Structure 1
Amino acid sequence: MKYLPIDSQLFIKNRNKFVEKMEPNSMAIFNSNDIYPISADSTLPFAQQRDIFYLSGVDQEESVLVIFPDCPKKENREVLFLRETNDHIAVWEGEKLDKEKALTTSGISKVYWLQDLEKVLFELMTQAETVYVNTNEHYRASVETETRDARFIKWLKGKYPAHTYKRCQPIMQRLRSVKEPLEIEMIQKACDITEKGFRRVLDFMKPGVMEYEIEAEYIHEFIRNRSAGFAYSPIIGSGYNACVLHYVENNQECKEGDMVLMDVGAEYANYASDMTRCIPVSGKFTERQKEVYNAVLRVKNDAAKLLVPGTIWADYHVEVGKLMTKELLNLGLISQDDVDNEDPDWPAYKKYFMHGTSHHMGLDTHDYGILTEPMEPGMVFTVEPGIYIPDENLGIRLEDDYVIQESGEPLNLMANIPIEIEDIEKLMNG
């Protein structure tokens, strides 16, 4: 890992919060992700399953976390199972966690090697009545590949069918949605790295640059600042491409007179940032581009003020829709007649702003959180309104990341990233 060590107190506190939600005499089990094959002997880069990372800080494959707070043997109340390392593995694959490093990383003193899993688990299962298993229940999830957790659950239920099984997710959804101060520090670090990339691109941009060259400028700056790379597939769309919401080809030329939409974010220590900025290829906004840009910026700024404790996500989007409707009317893109006769299920503003405004963010770019429950202090949300006008080859989206506060307006973690037209033009032409 490129990131600096994280204080194990974060993971100890996260486990304690999870334990508070467990039923008596119950045990929870979390698995690392697999390393996924491509073909031949090629594999995708390893990316840790976020729940086991959240609870342990362990960031390597073939690891298992067991939490059993009522275990008769005190030493088995928190247990890690790790792949046994040796000098041969260190030479061929690099350093892995040994038992001492696992304690430093996670705060867990009892570590078994993975080959002892079935033997130790048999003892633990005879003592536990309920087992919490980990599944992916994110509202956007569409999982076709069988995960390591899914295989493990199938095996566990086959071997121990008489136990009561419960889901970790209802607990994890709530815990992960409210960030600890140290988590917010790491998200801030990811945002700061993203800022460095954006400022680099402002110096680099000129007519004739390819979208993928902009992507390269970002990844250069991200990696040199201890990020593993992009938190999600970067969207760098110039001209008409900015109107394609999930455009990821990034293979077209940036032409004079066009705008470039850049939806990019660095990760740091598995924590995401999520930024969108739009800049003119030539370094100067046209009057029309300014008009649409400032309309989106006003919606973003006003929408952010609605992120306060007690707000319901669905109600919030209704209010943002009203803000956007006003701006589209002023731009002449929709008429009052369009609004008066709109379909309540697809309001008039949706013609030019068809996606949601905010989502939870944290260890995942679209992080866990229960959208039907009120917003709380410590939650991190994006705010990302947009106006897309394909007929004009113009798409504008602006996005920052905000932390909900106990009172007052949310904290903008991207406040230092230039967004005002005057600042962008000055930096591009300085």
Structure 2
Amino acid sequence: MASFSSYQEGPIELKGKKYPAKKHALNVAKHFLTKKSSSSRSVFFVSGEAPLPIPYCDQTYPFRQNRYFYYLTGCNIPSAHVLFDLITNKLTLFLPEIDYDDVMWSGMPMSLKKAKEVFDVDEVLYESKILKKLEDYSLDKREIYSTCYKNYKESFKKFLIADDKEFLWSLDESRMIKDDYEIALMRHAAKITDNSHLAVMSALPIEKNEGHIHAEFVYHSIRQGSKFQSYDPICCSGPNCSTLHYVKNDEDLGQRKSVLIDAGAEWSNYSCDVTRCFPIDGKWSKEHREIYDTVLDMQKQAFAQIKPGVLWDDIHILAHKILIKHFLRMGIFKSQFTENEIFESAASVIFFPHGLGHLLGMDTHDVGGLPNYEDPNPMLRYLRIRRPLQEGMVVTDEPGVYFSPFLVEEGLKDPKKAEKIDLEIMQKYYEIGGVRIEDDILVTKDGAENLTGITSDADEISKIVLDGISKGRDYFHCVV
């Protein structure tokens, strides 16, 4: 592991380079102009997020920059705006006016000159110049496209075409394909995430409940310079591992056997999303190892299919078929039924209810996937990508197997599913809760690259946990 300071400095290959905002604006314009109704005389205007006050309090909610705004600027300054002129290809960043009453509390904000040096834009002006710009464009019969009205001043709104489908589509299609700069940010987030997952696996002697696992991951992420998580970490143990987006993170590990941690660090607004599972005592039980090997096989075979042009639906369906083979071998599915009969009944959805993965970028569930949550097919309903893969996409490969009393009870209401399951054998797996293994995958020209470095090999994971327990007897003298 490299030193924490080396990660805090960011990707070495990006030193001296600006976030490619101008290139991104041109990408959006290129997509936008493929639409018949669009005009090369159009203008794009997007506002960043403003600090959001907490009611009845003098504090604000944690700041999260508008991702569309960030894509067009690389700027994380609150209450800023961006304008792109499709005729001149001029990109203008607008910063909020200096609030001199706030300087004593927060210091002087970035100057216009400094902002011009930092950001890849053609000019930087103060917000007071916006209204005149919008008025001039309106007088010239120019259409000004924007995102939602939520953050826009009342004086701006009458000039804007908000949430136009073709404009939003152009933004999403552009964000979906990552350039080299964005991939470097995501690689860096992945390295920090790898180290943090390794730290969690290695520190069982001081992790007595799910909250300690949560704290361990976040602590090591912050130490490496990642002050924000891509999403709230999912830290669960035993039967709690059957809840897909478990949020409590506060129960004692006690005599439970299994841990599932789904957590990812963020770097410069770009996400990482990784899930790992391990036995609390470092020793896989027969049932836990069977389910782990099932999920790992699903994930590896899915990864082998990832390349440009492949429909994500097909890879997802392959994962279900692999699950069925393993469950027949284990006896969870009754042997008198064929693999195809079980597949057609959708009985595997009881145990693998979510999609194989999703796009990843500035949002954890990133834009551009074209999901169809109204799909009548239960196997495809929650699939977040419903399109062929393209070079430059980053997707998660995250099959899972869960033994949720709720899902089982619901599934058994369907006789065609219920008859396929041996309940006596299945019940032996309830204490595991569930297993999910998740990696972040870059779709390359000829195939795929796994950006995730933390091991998913069951024997290696066991060794890491056991080594941590062994060292803990000698070195960990402070149990929180």
**Shorter-chain TM-score tier:** 0.7 to 0.9
Instruction: Give the C-alpha shift of residue 36 in structure 1.
Output: 2.1
Residue 285 and residue 223 in structure 1: after superposition, are their counterparts in 2 closer, same or farther (change >3 A)? same
In structure 1, distance between residues paired with 2:206 and 2:101: 51
Deviation per CA, 1:16-35, whole angstroms, max 9, x where unpaired? 22232343100011111132
Contact 1:79 1:112 in 2 (8 A): yes
1:143 paired residue number: none
Match of 2:399 among 373, 378, 385: 385
In the other structure, the counterpart of 2:383 is none
Q: Distance in 2 between matches of 1:159 and 1:205?
A: 58
Partner residue, 1:223: 222
1:9 Cα deviation after fit: 5.3
Quickly say closer, same or farther: Cα 1:82–1:157, change in 2 above 3 A: closer
| Kept after mapping to 1: 8 A contact 2:19/2:181 | no
Distance of aligned partners of 1:165 and 1:186 in 2 relative to their CA distance in 1, 3 Å threshold: closer
8 Å CA contact 1:405–1:411 kept in 2: the answer is yes
Distance 1:338 1:104 in 2: 65
Residues 180 and 306 (structure 1), Cα distance of their counterparts in 2 relative to 1, 3 Å cut: same
Deviation of 1:61 (Å): 1.1
Instruction: State the match for 1:31 in structure 2.
Output: 47
For residue 35 of structure 1, give the secondary structure of its aligned residue in structure 2.
Answer: coil
Q: 413, 423, 430: which is aligned to 2:451? A: 413
What amino acid is aligned across from residue 132 of structure 2 in structure 1?
Answer: K
The offset of 1:168, in angstroms, is: 2.2
Question: Aligned in 2, Cα 1:95/1:349: closer, same or farther, shift over 3 Å?
Answer: farther
Task: Please report the TM-score for the alignment, with normalisation by the length of structure 2.
Answer: 0.79
1:49 corresponds to 2:66: yes
Consecutive unaligned residues in structure 1, runs of 5 or more: 136-145
**Is the deviation greater in 285-294 or in 313-322?**
313-322
What is the deviation of 1:241? 0.6
Aligned-residue offset at 1:257: 4.5
Query: Match of 1:244?
Result: 243
Cα offset, 1:310, TM superposition: 0.5
Encode CA deviations 1:181-224: one digit per residue, 9 max, x unaligned. Answer: 11111111111101111111122114871111111111111111
Which residue of the partner structure matches residue 65 of structure 1?
82
What code does the residue aligned with 1:282 have?
Answer: D
Distance in 1 of aligned mates of 2:238 and 2:206: 12
Q: CA deviation at 1:94?
A: 4.1
Shift of the 127–164 alpha-carbon distance from structure 1 to 2, 3 Å rule, reads farther
Please say if 1:427 is aligned against 2:427.
Answer: no
Higher alpha-carbon deviation: 392-401 or 101-110: 101-110
CA RMSD, Structure 1 to Structure 2 (Å):
2.5
Mapped to 2, the partners of 1:78 and 1:228 lie a distance apart of 29
Q: Say if 2:111 is the partner of 1:98.
A: yes
Describe how 1:99-118 pairs up with structure 2 within 5 A. Answer: 99-118=112-131
Q: What amino acid does structure 1 have at the position aligned with 2:62?
A: P
Q: Secondary structure at the match of 1:271?
A: coil
The Cα offsets for residues 322-365 of structure 1, whole Å up to 9 and x where unpaired, read as 22222222222223538555585x71111111110110001110
| CA spacing shift, 1:115–1:207, aligned 2, 3 Å | closer
What aligned pairs does 1:176-187 form with structure 2 within 5 A after superposition? 176-187=175-186
Question: Does 2:155 match 1:158?
Answer: no
Letter in 1 for 2:210: E
Residues 207 and 256 of structure 1 are in contact (CA less than 8 Å); yes or no, is this contact kept in structure 2? no
Does the alignment pair 1:320 with 2:319? yes
Residue 334 and residue 147 in structure 1: after superposition, are their counterparts in 2 closer, same or farther (change >3 A)?
Answer: farther
Identity among equivalent pairs (%): 28
Aligned partner (choices 16, 34, 39) of residue 26 of structure 2 = 16
Change (3 A) 1:323 1:6: farther
Which secondary structure does the structure 1 equivalent of 2:460 belong to? helix
Hey, what's the Cα distance between the residues in 2 that align with 1:368 and 1:393? 36
**Structure 1's 399 and 343: CA in aligned 2 closer, same or farther, altered over 3 A?**
closer
Deviates more, 1:82-91 or 1:249-258: 82-91
Inter-partner Cα distance in structure 2 for 1:326 and 1:94: 62
Taking the aligned partners of 2:66 and 2:233, their CA distance within structure 1 comes to 21
Deviation of 1:119 (Å): 2.1
The residue aligned with 1:174 is 173
Amino acid aligned to 2:115: A
* Matched residue, 1:280: 279
Q: Which amino acid aligns with 1:253?
A: D
Q: Distance in 2 between matches of 1:120 and 1:208?
A: 57
Q: Secondary structure at the match of 1:267?
A: coil
Q: For each residue in 1:299-334, what CA deviation from the matched residue of structure 2 results, as whole angstroms up to 9, or x when unmatched?
A: 111111121100122233222222222222222222
Distance 1:320 1:219, change over 3 A: same
Q: Deviations over 1:368-395 (max 9, x none)?
A: 1244442111110001111112442211
C-alpha spacing 1:3/1:42, structure 2 compared with 1 (3 Å):
farther
Native 8 Å contact 2:18 2:119 kept in 1: yes
